[in-house]
Protein backbone atom coordinates (compact mmCIF):
# COMPACT_ATOMS: atom_id res chain seq x y z
CA UNK A 1 0.00 0.00 0.00
CA UNK A 2 2.87 2.33 0.83
CA UNK A 3 4.48 1.54 -2.53
CA UNK A 4 1.20 2.35 -4.34
CA UNK A 5 0.84 5.61 -2.45
CA UNK A 6 4.45 6.53 -3.23
CA UNK A 7 3.92 5.74 -6.93
CA UNK A 8 0.76 7.87 -7.14
CA UNK A 9 2.53 10.77 -5.41
CA UNK A 10 5.42 10.57 -7.87
CA UNK A 11 3.01 10.47 -10.84
CA UNK A 12 1.14 13.51 -9.52
CA UNK A 13 4.40 15.40 -9.09
CA UNK A 14 5.43 14.54 -12.67
CA UNK A 15 2.10 15.68 -14.15
CA UNK A 16 2.31 18.97 -12.25
CA UNK A 17 5.40 19.86 -14.33
CA UNK A 18 3.91 18.63 -17.65
CA UNK A 19 2.16 21.20 -19.93
CA UNK A 20 -1.50 20.52 -20.61
CA UNK A 21 -2.21 18.30 -23.58
CA UNK A 22 -4.02 21.08 -25.42
CA UNK A 23 -1.14 23.57 -25.14
CA UNK A 24 0.63 22.26 -28.24
CA UNK A 25 -2.69 22.12 -30.14
CA UNK A 26 -3.37 25.77 -29.32
CA UNK A 27 -0.20 26.83 -31.16
CA UNK A 28 -1.28 25.10 -34.37
CA UNK A 29 -5.05 25.35 -33.89
CA UNK A 30 -5.53 27.91 -36.67
CA UNK A 31 -3.69 25.91 -39.35
CA UNK A 32 -6.90 24.30 -40.61
CA UNK A 33 -8.25 27.71 -41.72
CA UNK A 34 -7.66 28.95 -45.27
CA UNK A 35 -7.21 32.54 -44.06
CA UNK A 36 -4.35 31.59 -41.71
CA UNK A 37 -0.73 30.96 -42.60
CA UNK A 38 1.55 31.43 -45.60
CA UNK A 39 0.12 30.65 -49.05
CA UNK A 40 1.52 31.26 -52.52
CA UNK A 41 -0.31 30.26 -55.68
CA UNK A 42 -1.83 30.94 -59.09
CA UNK A 43 -5.52 31.18 -59.98
CA UNK A 44 -6.95 30.72 -63.48
CA UNK A 45 -10.48 31.34 -64.78
CA UNK A 46 -11.42 30.34 -68.33
CA UNK A 47 -14.85 30.61 -69.95
CA UNK A 48 -16.09 27.36 -71.43
CA UNK A 49 -18.13 29.28 -74.04
CA UNK A 50 -18.68 32.80 -75.32
CA UNK A 51 -20.90 35.03 -73.14
CA UNK A 52 -23.81 36.76 -74.80
CA UNK A 53 -24.71 39.52 -72.35
CA UNK A 54 -24.69 43.24 -71.82
CA UNK A 55 -21.16 44.48 -71.36
CA UNK A 56 -20.80 46.75 -68.30
CA UNK A 57 -19.88 50.39 -68.78
CA UNK A 58 -20.47 50.34 -72.53
CA UNK A 59 -23.17 52.78 -73.63
CA UNK A 60 -24.32 54.02 -76.99
CA UNK A 61 -27.11 56.03 -78.55
CA UNK A 62 -29.07 53.91 -80.98
CA UNK A 63 -30.54 55.06 -84.24
CA UNK A 64 -33.86 55.94 -82.62
CA UNK A 65 -32.14 58.30 -80.19
CA UNK A 66 -32.39 56.12 -77.06
CA UNK A 67 -29.36 55.18 -75.03
CA UNK A 68 -28.55 51.80 -73.56
CA UNK A 69 -25.85 49.25 -72.83
CA UNK A 70 -23.97 47.62 -75.67
CA UNK A 71 -25.01 44.05 -76.37
CA UNK A 72 -22.30 41.65 -77.38
CA UNK A 73 -20.33 38.45 -77.11
CA UNK A 74 -17.33 38.04 -74.84
CA UNK A 75 -14.58 35.53 -74.18
CA UNK A 76 -11.90 35.73 -71.51
CA UNK A 77 -9.12 33.82 -69.77
CA UNK A 78 -7.82 35.49 -66.63
CA UNK A 79 -4.98 34.63 -64.27
CA UNK A 80 -3.66 35.95 -60.97
CA UNK A 81 -0.59 35.31 -58.84
CA UNK A 82 -1.72 35.46 -55.21
CA UNK A 83 0.14 35.53 -51.90
CA UNK A 84 -0.89 35.41 -48.25
CA UNK A 85 2.00 36.01 -45.85
CA UNK A 86 1.65 35.64 -42.08
CA UNK A 87 3.43 38.56 -40.40
CA UNK A 88 2.81 38.15 -36.67
CA UNK A 89 0.10 36.36 -34.76
CA UNK A 90 -3.01 36.39 -36.91
CA UNK A 91 -1.95 39.44 -38.98
CA UNK A 92 -1.37 38.67 -42.67
CA UNK A 93 -0.18 40.55 -45.74
CA UNK A 94 -2.24 39.91 -48.92
CA UNK A 95 -1.08 40.57 -52.49
CA UNK A 96 -2.26 39.68 -55.98
CA UNK A 97 -1.11 40.40 -59.51
CA UNK A 98 -3.81 39.72 -62.14
CA UNK A 99 -3.65 39.67 -65.92
CA UNK A 100 -6.09 38.56 -68.61
CA UNK A 101 -6.81 37.99 -72.27
CA UNK A 102 -10.27 38.94 -73.48
CA UNK A 103 -12.25 39.63 -76.61
CA UNK A 104 -15.62 41.26 -77.21
CA UNK A 105 -17.85 42.08 -80.13
CA UNK A 106 -20.39 44.75 -79.27
CA UNK A 107 -23.46 46.05 -81.07
CA UNK A 108 -26.43 48.28 -80.46
CA UNK A 109 -29.36 46.62 -78.68
CA UNK A 110 -31.43 44.66 -81.19
CA UNK A 111 -28.87 44.78 -84.00
CA UNK A 112 -28.46 41.66 -86.09
CA UNK A 113 -25.19 39.79 -86.56
CA UNK A 114 -24.48 41.44 -89.91
CA UNK A 115 -25.12 44.90 -88.48
CA UNK A 116 -23.03 44.07 -85.40
CA UNK A 117 -19.97 43.39 -87.50
CA UNK A 118 -20.41 46.77 -89.15
CA UNK A 119 -21.10 48.70 -85.93
CA UNK A 120 -18.29 47.18 -83.87
CA UNK A 121 -15.75 44.66 -85.19
CA UNK A 122 -14.26 42.21 -82.73
CA UNK A 123 -11.83 43.71 -80.23
CA UNK A 124 -9.29 41.64 -78.33
CA UNK A 125 -6.34 42.26 -76.13
CA UNK A 126 -4.05 41.18 -73.28
CA UNK A 127 -3.69 43.41 -70.27
CA UNK A 128 -2.28 43.53 -66.77
CA UNK A 129 -4.98 44.08 -64.20
CA UNK A 130 -4.84 46.09 -61.01
CA UNK A 131 -2.25 44.80 -58.49
CA UNK A 132 -3.64 44.68 -54.95
CA UNK A 133 -2.06 44.93 -51.52
CA UNK A 134 -3.79 44.58 -48.17
CA UNK A 135 -3.85 43.26 -44.63
CA UNK A 136 -6.20 40.91 -42.85
CA UNK A 137 -6.40 39.49 -39.35
CA UNK A 138 -7.55 35.94 -38.63
CA UNK A 139 -8.23 35.00 -35.02
CA UNK A 140 -9.76 32.03 -33.24
CA UNK A 141 -12.89 32.61 -31.19
CA UNK A 142 -12.96 28.90 -30.36
CA UNK A 143 -11.09 25.84 -31.64
CA UNK A 144 -13.77 25.43 -34.32
CA UNK A 145 -14.49 29.08 -35.24
CA UNK A 146 -12.27 31.77 -36.74
CA UNK A 147 -13.17 35.40 -37.47
CA UNK A 148 -11.50 37.20 -40.39
CA UNK A 149 -11.37 40.91 -41.25
CA UNK A 150 -9.23 43.02 -43.54
CA UNK A 151 -8.69 45.94 -45.91
CA UNK A 152 -7.04 46.17 -49.32
CA UNK A 153 -6.40 48.65 -52.13
CA UNK A 154 -5.72 48.14 -55.84
CA UNK A 155 -3.56 50.24 -58.15
CA UNK A 156 -4.73 50.95 -61.73
CA UNK A 157 -1.45 50.60 -63.63
CA UNK A 158 -3.06 50.65 -67.09
CA UNK A 159 -3.43 54.27 -68.18
CA UNK A 160 -5.24 55.53 -71.30
CA UNK A 161 -6.40 52.03 -72.27
CA UNK A 162 -6.99 51.28 -75.94
CA UNK A 163 -10.30 49.99 -77.26
CA UNK A 164 -8.82 46.49 -77.32
CA UNK A 165 -7.84 46.74 -73.66
CA UNK A 166 -11.27 48.08 -72.72
CA UNK A 167 -12.90 45.16 -74.52
CA UNK A 168 -10.66 42.64 -72.73
CA UNK A 169 -11.37 44.27 -69.37
CA UNK A 170 -15.13 44.33 -69.99
CA UNK A 171 -15.04 40.60 -70.68
CA UNK A 172 -12.83 39.94 -67.62
CA UNK A 173 -15.25 41.70 -65.28
CA UNK A 174 -17.82 38.95 -65.80
CA UNK A 175 -15.60 35.86 -65.70
CA UNK A 176 -16.06 35.32 -61.93
CA UNK A 177 -19.72 36.29 -61.89
CA UNK A 178 -18.83 39.93 -61.07
CA UNK A 179 -16.69 38.81 -58.12
CA UNK A 180 -13.18 40.23 -57.63
CA UNK A 181 -13.92 43.07 -60.05
CA UNK A 182 -11.02 45.03 -58.54
CA UNK A 183 -8.75 42.94 -60.76
CA UNK A 184 -10.11 44.25 -64.08
CA UNK A 185 -11.82 47.57 -63.29
CA UNK A 186 -9.92 50.08 -65.41
CA UNK A 187 -9.26 53.70 -64.47
CA UNK A 188 -10.47 53.23 -60.88
CA UNK A 189 -8.82 52.83 -57.49
CA UNK A 190 -10.71 49.97 -55.80
CA UNK A 191 -10.81 49.96 -51.98
CA UNK A 192 -12.14 46.82 -50.32
CA UNK A 193 -13.24 45.87 -46.80
CA UNK A 194 -13.67 42.20 -45.96
CA UNK A 195 -15.22 40.30 -43.08
CA UNK A 196 -15.97 36.63 -42.68
CA UNK A 197 -15.88 33.43 -40.69
CA UNK A 198 -14.34 30.00 -41.09
CA UNK A 199 -15.98 27.14 -39.23
CA UNK A 200 -15.03 23.50 -38.63
CA UNK A 201 -17.92 21.99 -36.65
CA UNK A 202 -16.47 18.50 -37.13
CA UNK A 203 -13.03 17.44 -38.31
CA UNK A 204 -14.14 16.60 -41.87
CA UNK A 205 -16.43 19.59 -42.52
CA UNK A 206 -15.15 23.06 -43.43
CA UNK A 207 -17.49 26.04 -43.84
CA UNK A 208 -16.48 29.51 -45.02
CA UNK A 209 -18.55 32.68 -45.39
CA UNK A 210 -17.31 36.09 -46.63
CA UNK A 211 -18.79 39.56 -47.07
CA UNK A 212 -16.87 42.17 -49.11
CA UNK A 213 -17.70 45.79 -49.85
CA UNK A 214 -15.78 47.54 -52.62
CA UNK A 215 -15.73 51.27 -53.30
CA UNK A 216 -13.93 52.19 -56.54
CA UNK A 217 -12.83 55.81 -57.02
CA UNK A 218 -12.43 56.94 -60.67
CA UNK A 219 -9.06 58.31 -61.74
CA UNK A 220 -10.52 60.08 -64.77
CA UNK A 221 -13.98 61.25 -65.70
CA UNK A 222 -15.77 57.98 -64.95
CA UNK A 223 -18.33 57.17 -62.30
CA UNK A 224 -17.72 55.84 -58.81
CA UNK A 225 -18.47 52.11 -58.62
CA UNK A 226 -19.82 50.25 -55.61
CA UNK A 227 -19.95 46.44 -55.30
CA UNK A 228 -20.96 44.06 -52.52
CA UNK A 229 -19.92 40.39 -52.64
CA UNK A 230 -21.22 37.59 -50.46
CA UNK A 231 -20.06 33.97 -50.69
CA UNK A 232 -20.59 30.72 -48.78
CA UNK A 233 -18.67 27.46 -49.12
CA UNK A 234 -19.04 24.03 -47.56
CA UNK A 235 -16.46 21.29 -48.07
CA UNK A 236 -16.09 17.70 -46.89
CA UNK A 237 -12.45 16.74 -46.60
CA UNK A 238 -10.76 13.40 -45.96
CA UNK A 239 -7.85 12.84 -43.58
CA UNK A 240 -5.41 13.00 -46.52
CA UNK A 241 -6.71 16.41 -47.59
CA UNK A 242 -8.88 15.45 -50.57
CA UNK A 243 -12.15 17.38 -50.53
CA UNK A 244 -15.40 17.94 -52.41
CA UNK A 245 -17.61 20.95 -51.88
CA UNK A 246 -19.94 23.60 -53.21
CA UNK A 247 -19.94 27.39 -53.31
CA UNK A 248 -22.87 29.80 -53.59
CA UNK A 249 -22.14 33.46 -54.27
CA UNK A 250 -24.09 36.67 -54.84
CA UNK A 251 -22.56 39.79 -56.39
CA UNK A 252 -24.31 43.14 -56.09
CA UNK A 253 -22.98 45.66 -58.68
CA UNK A 254 -25.06 48.44 -57.18
CA UNK A 255 -24.20 51.02 -59.84
CA UNK A 256 -25.29 48.76 -62.72
CA UNK A 257 -28.79 48.19 -64.13
CA UNK A 258 -29.02 44.61 -62.87
CA UNK A 259 -28.08 44.82 -59.22
CA UNK A 260 -27.57 41.13 -58.40
CA UNK A 261 -25.82 38.16 -59.98
CA UNK A 262 -26.07 34.68 -58.46
CA UNK A 263 -23.65 31.85 -59.24
CA UNK A 264 -22.84 28.39 -57.89
CA UNK A 265 -19.67 26.32 -58.08
CA UNK A 266 -19.18 22.63 -57.33
CA UNK A 267 -15.50 21.89 -56.77
CA UNK A 268 -12.93 19.27 -55.83
CA UNK A 269 -9.53 19.87 -54.34
CA UNK A 270 -6.59 18.81 -52.23
CA UNK A 271 -5.63 20.85 -49.16
CA UNK A 272 -2.72 19.64 -46.98
CA UNK A 273 -3.44 19.56 -43.23
CA UNK A 274 -0.49 21.82 -42.39
CA UNK A 275 1.95 22.43 -45.28
CA UNK A 276 2.41 21.23 -48.84
CA UNK A 277 0.87 21.66 -52.28
CA UNK A 278 -2.80 22.50 -52.73
CA UNK A 279 -5.07 22.22 -55.76
CA UNK A 280 -8.68 23.13 -56.54
CA UNK A 281 -10.85 22.80 -59.65
CA UNK A 282 -14.44 23.95 -60.01
CA UNK A 283 -17.10 25.03 -62.50
CA UNK A 284 -18.72 28.38 -61.75
CA UNK A 285 -22.24 28.53 -63.24
CA UNK A 286 -24.30 31.71 -63.33
CA UNK A 287 -27.83 31.10 -62.03
CA UNK A 288 -29.78 34.18 -63.13
CA UNK A 289 -29.75 37.03 -65.63
CA UNK A 290 -27.82 38.66 -67.16
CA UNK A 291 -25.11 35.94 -67.15
CA UNK A 292 -27.25 32.85 -66.52
CA UNK A 293 -28.40 30.23 -66.68
CA UNK A 294 -24.78 29.24 -67.17
CA UNK A 295 -25.24 25.84 -68.83
CA UNK A 296 -27.23 27.38 -71.66
CA UNK A 297 -25.61 28.50 -74.88
CA UNK A 298 -23.97 31.91 -74.58
CA UNK A 299 -24.16 32.13 -70.78
CA UNK A 300 -21.49 32.17 -68.08
CA UNK A 301 -19.86 28.86 -67.15
CA UNK A 302 -16.27 29.32 -66.00
CA UNK A 303 -13.68 26.65 -65.36
CA UNK A 304 -11.79 27.72 -62.23
CA UNK A 305 -8.40 26.35 -61.22
CA UNK A 306 -6.09 27.17 -58.32
CA UNK A 307 -2.72 25.61 -57.52
CA UNK A 308 -0.01 26.54 -55.05
CA UNK A 309 1.67 25.77 -51.78
CA UNK A 310 1.03 26.53 -48.12
CA UNK A 311 3.70 26.64 -45.43
pLDDT of 176 > 90? The answer is: yes
User: Residue 73: which of 58, 54, 57, 51 has the closest Cα?
Assistant: 51
| 131-135, 172-176, 218-222, range with the lowest pLDDT | 218-222
Q: Residue 140 and residue 146: Cα distance in Å, rounded? A: 4
Average confidence (pLDDT) over 21-40: 67
Bond from prior residue into 57 cis (ω within 30 degrees of 0): no
Which domains are delineated in the chain? 33-310 (2.40.160.40)
Q: Residue 68 and residue 60: Cα distance in Å, rounded? A: 6
pTM, two decimals, is 0.80
User: Residue 268: which of 300, 245, 234 has the closest Cα?
Assistant: 245
DSSP string, 4-35: HHHHHHHHHHHHHTSPPHHHHHHHHGGGGSTT
pLDDT of 267 > 70? The answer is: yes
User: Residue 177: which of 82, 258, 271, 250 has the closest Cα?
Assistant: 250
pLDDT-derived band of residue 124, with 50, 70 and 90 as boundaries? confident
Q: Residue 279 and residue 241: Cα distance in Å, rounded? A: 10
Amino acid sequence: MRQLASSLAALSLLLSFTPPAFAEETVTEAQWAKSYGFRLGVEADVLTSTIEANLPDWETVSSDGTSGAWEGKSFVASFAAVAQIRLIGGLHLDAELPFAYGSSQASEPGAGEQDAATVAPELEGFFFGNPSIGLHYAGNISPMLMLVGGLSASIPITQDPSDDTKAAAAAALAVRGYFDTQRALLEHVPLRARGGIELRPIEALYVRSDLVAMFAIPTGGGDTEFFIEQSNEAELRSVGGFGVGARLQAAFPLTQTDKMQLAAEPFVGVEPPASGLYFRAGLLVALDEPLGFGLEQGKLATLRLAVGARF
